Amino acid sequence: MMNKLIFSRKFLLSPLVQELKEHFNDPDGELGKLTKQIKANDQKAETLMSLLEKALIDKVMYINQTAELEQSTYQCQQRIKQINSNNTDKANSLEDFRDLLRWCQQGQMMKNFDSKVFKTFVQAIKANSQHKIVFQLKCGLNLAEHLPKEVRVSQHFYHEVIR
């Protein structure tokens, strides 16, 4: 599996790292839009307060409008928190991808199984069938490995490494 990654790093890993970089910094400008919405809500609330003080609107209308603005502001703040949380996940994934790419760029094909390398990059292994396993890497990639029909999963697994 690692040798396949080394061989295909230019076609697989490099473009993925580049794509993660591009999508990392709020490409749609949603954070800016949400921040502007919160500022607009604050200005509207100040205007409502001013109108109430001048007795141009009644208290019921003020309360209803203020409640709507507070709800809108709360929803914007929750969305900002969600985006920031997603950005943290993306940053971690990007760093894991970079680590994997750096290791693959060494270009040294593996001749034997190396448990240290395995533990560094593999999060889990799923056996989909006796002849197909999927390596779930820490960076989020899922790599399928087809085993020869004469070899079963139980003969190929490293039980002391997989937990």
Reported as half-sphere exposure (CB side, CA atoms, 13 A), residue 139 has a value of 17
The sign of the dihedral angle between the CA atoms of 73, 79, 84, 85 is: positive
pLDDT in tens, the chain (163 residues): 665 666 666 666 666 666 766 666 665 678 788 889 999 999 999 999 999 899 898 999 999 999 999 999 999 989 888 877 777 766 677 777 777 777 777 767 778 877 888 888 888 888 888 778 888 888 777 888 887 776 655 555 555 555 4
Phi, psi of 111 (to 5 degrees): -95, -30
- Contact yes or no for 40/147 (Cβ under 8 A): no
Instruction: Please state, in angstroms and as integers, the Cα–Cα distance from residue 112 to each residue in 11, 44, 118, 156, following that order.
Output: 24, 67, 11, 13
